[in-house]
Homo-oligomer: A and B are copies of this chain.
Amino acid sequence: MARIVVDVMPKAEILDPQGKAIVGALDRLGFAGVADVRQGKRFELEVDGDISDEQLEKIAADVLTNTVIEDFTITRVNA
C-alpha cells in the first residue's frame, strides 16, 4: 500500500483570485505581513501494490490537473 501525494497549483503566470481574496481577508482581520497567497489542491492517493511513475504522471496530468492553467508535483510518501 503506497501513499502518493499530488499537489496541484495554479501556474505562476495565472491570476489566482481565491488567493487574492485570502490576502484581503487576512489584512482586514488584522494578520499583517502576508504578502501573497496562492491556493491549490492536494490529492492523497492510496495505491494497491506498485504503480509506475509513468502511470502516476498520466493520472496527475489527465485526471487531477487542468494542465492549461495548473502545474502538478508528485511525491511518494512511502514507496
Copies in the complex: 2
* A1 lies within 8 A of chain B by Cβ: yes
Q: Give A36 to B33 CA distance when docked, in angstroms.
A: 38
A17 to B58, CA, bound (A): 22
Chain A positions 34 through 61: 1 when the CB is less than 8 Å from some CB of chain B, otherwise 0:
1111111111111111010001001100
Q: Tell me, yes or no, whether A25 is within 8 Å of chain B by CB.
A: yes
Q: Are B26 and A47 in contact (CB under 8 A)?
A: no
A29 close to chain B: CB less than 8 A:
yes
What residues of chain B lie closer than 8 Å to A8, measured between beta carbons? 42
Residues in chain A within 8 A of chain B (CB atoms)? 1, 7-9, 19, 22, 25-26, 29, 31, 33-49, 51, 55, 58-59, 62-64
